[in-house]
C-alpha cells in the first residue's frame, strides 16, 4: 500500500535537501535555555517573538499551534500557516449579487430545437422540470408557442455575511406589487361597496338605519387609532388588553445599571431580586418582584392551590377560583383531622409504652446545670479569674447622686460633721459647688484656726419624732385659728345681709319699674302673636331670651302675672 502527499513546492524543495540541512538535535543546555526563555516571555520579563510581519506572537499559545510543520518550508517564527491560504480561497461574489430571474430579453425561437423541453420548447430546462401546464400535444410535435429561455447562471460563491443576510435577493418592486397594490385595491373595493350601500339606503328612505350604521363604522374606524398608554383596544371583541408595563414607568433594568445586579428577564419583564441590596427598603422605589410572592396572603394562596391539586388527584373535584369558600372549609377540616390524628397517635403511643413524664422535663441546658459564669483555670487547676467574691448589695438604691453631686452624702468628714466629698459641703440638701466649694471650706477652716472669725453655733439637729410633733402642732394651731375666723365672719355676714335685704326691698326704682312694665306688655303682645302662628313656621327660640332679669323686671312680671286663686283677678282692667 502506498500513500501520496500533495505538498507545496517549498515542501518538496525542503525534502530534496541533504541531511545537513535538516533540523538537528538540540543539546540539553540549549533546550534548558529555550525553556527559560519561554518562561520569561510568559512572565513578561523578556520580549515576545515577532513574526515576519512585525507582529508579536502571544507566548501563551501552545507549541503545536505556533510551530509550523517541517514540510511548510518556514525558518522563522510565524502564524501564517494557521490562517487561510490565498491559493485555496475561492473568489467571492460582489455584495448584493443574486440569481437573475425571468426570461431573456430578445427574439424568441419559432420552431422546436433539439434538446429543448418537450412540453414548452425552452432550452433552459427539461420536461420533468417544466413549470408550465402540461400541454395535450407538446411543443416538440406542434412547434407552436415556443416558450422563451430563462436566465442560466452558475452557482454564486457567497461570502460569510451574504450567506446569512436574510434580505439578500429581495426585490422591492415585487413587494410593492404584491402587498401595497393589492392592499390599495382591497381598500378601494371596500370604499366602493360602502358608497353603494349608502346610496341604496338613501334611496329606500331608511335614514335612521343609515345613521346608526355610519356611526358604528366611524366607531370602528376611530377605535383602531386609539393609542392609550399601556392598553390595546380590540374592535372585534370590544375589550381592552392591559400590557405588562405602562410606557411612562421606569423600566426595572434601569434602577441599577451594574452588570452584577439583580437579573432582569426581558421576555416576562420581571426582576425577582432586589436591585438595591444594602439600602433602606423605605427609601427605594422598587424592591424586586419576590416581595409579592412572600407578602400578604400569597403564601396562603399558594398552599390552597397545592391543596386543590392534591385533592383533585385524590378524587375530590374542587377548584380554587370556582369555589374558594368550599376549598377553604375543606382545607380547614383536613388540617383539623391531621392535628387530631397526630394527637391521638401520640396519646396511643404514650398509653402503650409510657414515658409521659419525660416529655414534661425542663430543657437540657437547665438539666446540665449550664450557667453564664466565666471562670479561668491555670495549668494546675487553680482558679485565676471568674470566681471572685460577689459584692453584697443592699435593698436601697446605690450610686444615686442628687443636686449635681458626684459623691454621696457621708463621703466627707471634717470637724465632727459629715458632708459631700466632691465639694466639702456639710449641708445635706445643698447644691454641688465643685472645686470652688472646696476652696471656700478650706479658707473657712484656716480662718477658724487663725482666730479671725468665730464659728457660727448651729442649733442641734432634731430627731424625726421631734420634727413630726412640731409639724402636727403647727397644723392644729392653723386649724383652730381658721375655725375662729370663720365663725366671726359668719356672724358679721348674716347681720349685714339681713340689713341689706331690708334696704334693697324698699329701693326699687320707680322709673325703671315703669319701663319694665311697658316692656312686659310688649313681650306679652309678641308672645300672643307668635302663639297664633303655626308652630312649624314659628322661629326657633323666639319666645325666650337668655338674659338675667333685673329686680324691676321681676317685679313687673309679678304685677302682670295672673293667678287662678286670686279673688280680685276678675276686677282688674
Which backbone phi and psi does 455 adopt, to 5 degrees?
-65, 140
| pLDDT for position 333 | 93
| pLDDT for position 228 | 47
Choice between 105 and 320, residue whose per-residue pLDDT is larger = 320
pLDDT tier for residue 455 given thresholds of 50, 70 and 90: very low
Query: What b-and-e string marks burial along 109-135, b requiring 16 or more CB atoms within 10 Å of the CB?
Result: beebeeebbebbbbbebeeeebeeeeb
C-alpha grid cell, residue 221: 374606524
Residues 291 and 309: beta-carbon distance below 8 Å: no
pLDDT higher than 60, residue 231? no
pLDDT higher than 80, residue 388? no
pLDDT higher than 80, residue 496? no
| pLDDT for position 162 | 80
Ranges 38-42, 159-163, 289-293, 553-557, most confident? 38-42
| pLDDT for position 65 | 87
pLDDT higher than 90, residue 119? yes
C-alpha grid cell, residue 189: 373595493
Over residues 152-175, the mean pLDDT reads: 80
Residues 429 and 403: beta-carbon distance below 8 Å: yes
Closest CA to 303 of 422, 516, 311: 311
Over residues 460-474, the mean pLDDT reads: 75
**CA distances, 26 to each of 30, 34, 38 (Å):** 6, 10, 16
Which backbone phi and psi does 50 adopt, to 5 degrees?
-125, 135
CA distance 320 to 363: 43
Over residues 6-26, the mean pLDDT reads: 57
- Between 41-50, 379-388, 494-503, 518-527, the lowest mean confidence (pLDDT) is in 494-503
C-alpha grid cell, residue 473: 402642732
As beta bridge partners, residue 419 has 412
367-381 tens-digit pLDDT? 776 677 788 888 888
Over residues 163-182, the mean pLDDT reads: 82
| pLDDT for position 335 | 92
CA 326, 328, 330, 332 dihedral sign is: negative
Choice between 246 and 226, residue whose per-residue pLDDT is larger = 246
Which backbone phi and psi does 469 adopt, to 5 degrees?
-65, -40
pLDDT higher than 90, residue 278? no
Percent of the chain residues past pLDDT 70, beyond the cut: 76
CA distance 264 to 245: 14
| pLDDT for position 245 | 59
Residues 46 and 25: beta-carbon distance below 8 Å: no
| pLDDT for position 484 | 78
543-562 tens-digit pLDDT? 566 678 888 888 888 888 77
pTM over 0.85: no
| pLDDT for position 488 | 67
Helix (H) or strand (E) holding 417, with range, is strand 417-419
pLDDT higher than 70, residue 86? yes
| pLDDT for position 233 | 47
C-alpha grid cell, residue 447: 480662718
CA 503, 506, 511, 517 dihedral sign is: positive
Amino acid at each position: 500500500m502506498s500513500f501520496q502527499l500533495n505538498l507545496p513546492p517549498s515542501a518538496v524543495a525542503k525534502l530534496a535537501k541533504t541531511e545537513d540541512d535538516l533540523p538537528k538535535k538540540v543539546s540539553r543546555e540549549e533546550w534548558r535555555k529555550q525553556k527559560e526563555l519561554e518562561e520569561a516571555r510568559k512572565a513578561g520579563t523578556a520580549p515576545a517573538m515577532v513574526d515576519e510581519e512585525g507582529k508579536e506572537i502571544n507566548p501563551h499559545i501552545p507549541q503545536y499551534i505556533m510551530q509550523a510543520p517541517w514540510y511548510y518550508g518556514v525558518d522563522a517564527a510565524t502564524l501564517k500557516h494557521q490562517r487561510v491560504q490565498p491559493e485555496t480561497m475561492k473568489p467571492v461574489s460582489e455584495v448584493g449579487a443574486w440569481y437573475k430571474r425571468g426570461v431573456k430579453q430578445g427574439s424568441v425561437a419559432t420552431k422546436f430545437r433539439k434538446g429543448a423541453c418537450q412540453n414548452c420548447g425552452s432550452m433552459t430546462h427539461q420536461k420533468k422540470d417544466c413549470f408550465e401546464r402540461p400541454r395535450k400535444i407538446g411543443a416538440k410535435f406542434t412547434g407552436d408557442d415556443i416558450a422563451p429561455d430563462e436566465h442560466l447562471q452558475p452557482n454564486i460563491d457567497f461570502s460569510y455575511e451574504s450567506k446569512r443576510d436574510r434580505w439578500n435577493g429581495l426585490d422591492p418592486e415585487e413587494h410593492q406589487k404584491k402587498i401595497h397594490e393589492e392592499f390599495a385595491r382591497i381598500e378601494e373595493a371596500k370604499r366602493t361597496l360602502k358608497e353603494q350601500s349608502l346610496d341604496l339606503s338613501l334611496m329606500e328612505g331608511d335614514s335612521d338605519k343609515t345613521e346608526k350604521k355610519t356611526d358604528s363604522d366611524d366607531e370602528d374606524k376611530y377605535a383602531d387609532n386609539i393609542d392609550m398608554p399601556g392598553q390595546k383596544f380590540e374592535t372585534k371583541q370590544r375589550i381592552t388588553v392591559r400590557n405588562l408595563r405602562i410606557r411612562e414607568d421606569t423600566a426595572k433594568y434601569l434602577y441599577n445599571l451594574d452588570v452584577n445586579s439583580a437579573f432582569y428577564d426581558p421576555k416576562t419583564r420581571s426582576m425577582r431580586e432586589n436591585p438595591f441590596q444594602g439600602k433602606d427598603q423605605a427609601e427605594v422605589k422598587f424592591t424586586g418582584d419576590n416581595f409579592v410572592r412572600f407578602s400578604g396572603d400569597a403564601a396562603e394562596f399558594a398552599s390552597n392551590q397545592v391543596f386543590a391539586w392534591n385533592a383533585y388527584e385524590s378524587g375530590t373535584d374542587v377548584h380554587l377560583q370556582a369555589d374558594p369558600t368550599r376549598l377553604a372549609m375543606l382545607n380547614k377540616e383536613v388540617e383539623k383531622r391531621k392535628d387530631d390524628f397526630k394527637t391521638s397517635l401520640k396519646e396511643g403511643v404514650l398509653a402503650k409504652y409510657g414515658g409521659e413524664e419525660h416529655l414534661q422535663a425542663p430543657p437540657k441546658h437547665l438539666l446540665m446545670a449550664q450557667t453564664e459564669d466565666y471562670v479561668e483555670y491555670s495549668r494546675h487547676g487553680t482558679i485565676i479569674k471568674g470566681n471572685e467574691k460577689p459584692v453584697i448589695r443592699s435593698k436601697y438604691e446605690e450610686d444615686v447622686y442628687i443636686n449635681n453631686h458626684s459623691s454621696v452624702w457621708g463621703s466627707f468628714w471634717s470637724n465632727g460633721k459629715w458632708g459631700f466629698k466632691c465639694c466639702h459641703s456639710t449641708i445635706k440638701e445643698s447644691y454641688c459647688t465643685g472645686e470652688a466649694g472646696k476652696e471656700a471650706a478650706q479658707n473657712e477652716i484656716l480662718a477658724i484656726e487663725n482666730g479671725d472669725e468665730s464659728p457660727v453655733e448651729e442649733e442641734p439637729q432634731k430627731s424625726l419624732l421631734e420634727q413630726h410633733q412640731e409639724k402636727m402642732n403647727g397644723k392644729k394651731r392653723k386649724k383652730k385659728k381658721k375655725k375662729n375666723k370663720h365663725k366671726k365672719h359668719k356672724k358679721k355676714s348674716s347681720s349685714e345681709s339681713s340689713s341689706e335685704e331690708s334696704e334693697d326691698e324698699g329701693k326699687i326704682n320707680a322709673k325703671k319699674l315703669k319701663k319694665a312694665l311697658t316692656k312686659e306688655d310688649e313681650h306679652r303682645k309678641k308672645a300672643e302673636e307668635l302663639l297664633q302662628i303655626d308652630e312649624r313656621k314659628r322661629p326657633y327660640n323666639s319666645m325666650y331670651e337668655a338674659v338675667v332679669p333685673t329686680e324691676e323686671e321681676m317685679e313687673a312680671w309679678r304685677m302682670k302675672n295672673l293667678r287662678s286663686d286670686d279673688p280680685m283677678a276678675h276686677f282688674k282692667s
